């Protein structure tokens, strides 16, 4: 972010302070239906996908909806066939400002929080960081990232 936020206390906040710790996950072999059940039961829109304990992708409710348009039977397929394989992550010790920068520059709504050993420890979405941002900064971020239809 080109401009520093003047929110009290923002400078000291880290990814670990705002993340959802220990999110529910799936393996690459879990079915899309299993992930959809997590969306419903955990009231979330994204599920990290793990292989041998490390994130290898993420599946969002949007990914599922779009896959169903092309493959009506996708609900029974493994999430490995539908997920986004790019893992965008931050460290638990990264500042909230860095988290916002990663979300903005990578043009994503969520990032995974990964420890130094590559293990998933949390997930952060815009909804997690919005409450700690100043109104001015939040307004600027929205203006820069929301595209009119």
> Which CATH number is 10-145 given?
3.10.580.10
Q: Rounded to an integer, what distance in angstroms lies between the CA atom of residue 104 and that of residue 102?
A: 5
Per the CB < 8 A criterion, the answer to whether 30 and 77 are in contact is no
First to last CA, the chain: 25
89-90 and 110-114 strand pairing: parallel
For 45-99, the pLDDT digits (tens) are 999 999 988 999 999 999 999 988 888 888 899 999 999 998 999 999 999 989 9
Per the CB < 8 A criterion, the answer to whether 124 and 111 are in contact is yes
Whether this prediction's pTM lies above 0.85 is answered by: no
Q: Rounded to an integer, what distance in angstroms lies between the CA atom of residue 87 and that of residue 73?
A: 26
């Amino acid at each position: 972010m080109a401009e520093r936020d003047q929110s009290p206390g923002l400078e000291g906040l880290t990814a670990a302070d705002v993340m959802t710790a220990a999110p529910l996950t799936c393996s690459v072999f879990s079915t899309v239906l299993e992930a959809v059940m997590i969306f419903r039961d955990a009231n979330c829109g994204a599920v990290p996908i793990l292989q041998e304990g490390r994130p290898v992708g993420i599946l969002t409710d949007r990914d599922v909806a779009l896959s169903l348009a092309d493959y009506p039977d996708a609900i029974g397929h493994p999430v490995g066939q539908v997920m986004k394989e790019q893992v965008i992550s931050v460290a638990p010790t990264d500042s909230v400002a860095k988290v916002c920068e990663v979300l903005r520059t990578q043009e994503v709504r969520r990032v995974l929080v990964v420890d130094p050993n590559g293990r998933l420890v949390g997930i952060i979405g815009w909804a997690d960081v919005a409450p700690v941002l100043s109104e001015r900064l939040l307004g600027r971020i929205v203006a820069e990232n929301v595209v009119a239809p």
